[in-house]
Structure 1
């Protein structure tokens, strides 16, 4: 169980303007709420809002799996915020194909690249002029996955897209460092979210084991809570991480091998 040990500093992100993609539920909603709790003004997007979507954020319905969708969203976000200091690329989705790599349809490879990788590239490209204007202290966090470094055949399309995101984040960090804009990548492990739960249930059913068995091997003794990832984001976009850029940080309870 996630333990809340301290209350967030309510003014840590005061005056900061944040954009979070995929913020309607799960990790994205937790990130949005954590930035709001720190005093940031937040705009988020997803195909649809849910009961989990933080009400204090500005929600813009959209589909950022296309360049046109990204441009529509980022334009609306900048109209709302004026500029931006923090970008968190969290939008993601994947379906598991238990028949293996050859059973993944071609269109799902394209869809996986568009949403899980290129959406972040496109959002960042559209917002870079505003980030450069905001100047040193601005930050980008791309939410990847442990699957980027430990791929499984049923999710090869998703894993490949997230591996590309890791590589891209490192290159972007090097390019933006002279401007004082930091870029980091977070690789969550087995976090309890609706999307990930559905995939784990597929694996559990195929293996004939209880769902809890899929996360039983986490060294720290529990699966992740979306707030575990949100706290890592809050650190990486804060001044506490002012000398941190170009990292790919596993937040997974110790599951990933040494990388």
Structure 2
């Protein structure tokens, strides 16, 4: 298991205080990495170095980068996990320009901005890994539920692939992880709200949502720790020849050949 060892590596996990981000931060710390986490607000407790930042703000990204440089001298691994579904469902007619911009800023531009400011030191060292946390929605949009979110994640997928190609000869690997339905607090709340609006139970709401995507063959949502274990492998020396690929972790729900 030495090829999964991350001792001596410094990692930044954005959105690293809860859900998938926290699971990734904890997993990489167990593997020996020095982990930095960022989020808009500080959690009640964290065992990782915390930096408050709103990554939709260019000035906050600049400040985050400066603190990392001043304290750690840079990073070896960047996990762009910040993102989320923040816009209403109902299709194109319910979405304003502000909704589209909000979703793009959170799910795409924040990652582009952070990559751009942290990449020079990785390129200088000829070493580094960037993981973009996307979503299966980027390959299978549900027009009535997540149109703007799905489009922003599809754009992230395309950007990630292009960046991987650009950096492949410079020692920096870029990969995308696309979770399906994952048992996080936001997902549970989304299911509750969706079910309440439809006048059905959360269990029935889950069945209806999954029916739109063909269901989950494995019969359950992913645990955040399962996504974290995939990320751990991808950032480790064991994955040294992997770059430019999107890894869906969805229990087999995507009804396409990747």
Same fold per superposition (TM over 0.5): yes
Give the one of 192, 195, 202 matched to 2:186: 195
TM-aligned CA distance change 1:115 to 1:95, over 3 Å: closer
TM-aligned CA distance change 1:239 to 1:214, over 3 Å: farther
CA distance in 2, matches of 1:99, 1:10: 47
Query: Which residue is equivalent to 2:53?
Result: 62
Query: Which residue is equivalent to 1:139?
Result: 129
Q: CA offset at residue 117 of structure 1?
A: 0.5
Q: CA offset at residue 238 of structure 1?
A: 0.5
Is the aligned partner of 1:181 residue 2:172?
Answer: yes
CA distance in 2, matches of 1:176, 1:212: 44
The answer (yes or no) to whether the contact 2:87–2:103 under 8 Å persists in 1 is no
Q: Secondary structure at the match of 1:152?
A: coil
Instruction: Tell which deviates more after alignment, 147-156 or 239-248.
Output: 147-156
Instruction: Tell which deviates more after alignment, 182-191 or 212-221.
Output: 212-221
CA distance in 2, matches of 1:31, 1:168: 22
TM-aligned CA distance change 1:80 to 1:11, over 3 Å: farther
Give the one of 221, 225, 228 matched to 2:226: 228
Give the one of 242, 245, 255 matched to 1:244: 242
The answer (yes or no) to whether the contact 2:4–2:236 under 8 Å persists in 1 is no
The answer (yes or no) to whether the contact 1:215–1:223 under 8 Å persists in 2 is no
Query: Which residue is equivalent to 2:252?
Result: 254
Query: Which residue is equivalent to 1:160?
Result: 151
Q: Secondary structure at the match of 2:146?
A: helix
The answer (yes or no) to whether the contact 1:74–1:126 under 8 Å persists in 2 is yes
Question: TM-score, normalised to structure 1's length?
Answer: 0.90
The answer (yes or no) to whether the contact 1:85–1:134 under 8 Å persists in 2 is no
Is the aligned partner of 1:47 residue 2:45?
Answer: no
What root-mean-square deviation, in Å, do the aligned CA atoms of Structure 1 and Structure 2 show?
A: 1.9
Number of residues of Structure 1 aligned to a counterpart in Structure 2: 249
Q: What aligned pairs does 1:90-109 form with structure 2 within 5 A after superposition?
A: 90-109=81-100
CA distance in 2, matches of 1:194, 1:106: 28
Alpha-carbon deviations, 1:76-128, whole Å to 9, x = none?
12222112110000001223523322112321211111111111111110000
Is the aligned partner of 1:150 residue 2:140?
Answer: yes
TM-aligned CA distance change 1:9 to 1:210, over 3 Å: farther
Q: What aligned pairs does 1:63-82 form with structure 2 within 5 A after superposition?
A: 63-82=54-73
Query: Which residue is equivalent to 2:212?
Result: none
Q: CA offset at residue 205 of structure 1?
A: 2.5
**Structure 1: 5+ residue runs without aligned partners?**
1-7
Alpha-carbon deviations, 1:201-247, whole Å to 9, x = none?
23223333322344453211211111111111101100111111100
Q: Secondary structure at the match of 1:141?
A: strand
Q: What aligned pairs does 1:9-48 form with structure 2 within 5 A after superposition?
A: 12-48=5-41
TM-aligned CA distance change 1:194 to 1:218, over 3 Å: same
Instruction: Tell which deviates more after alignment, 125-134 or 208-217.
Output: 208-217
Q: CA offset at residue 11 of structure 1?
A: 7.7
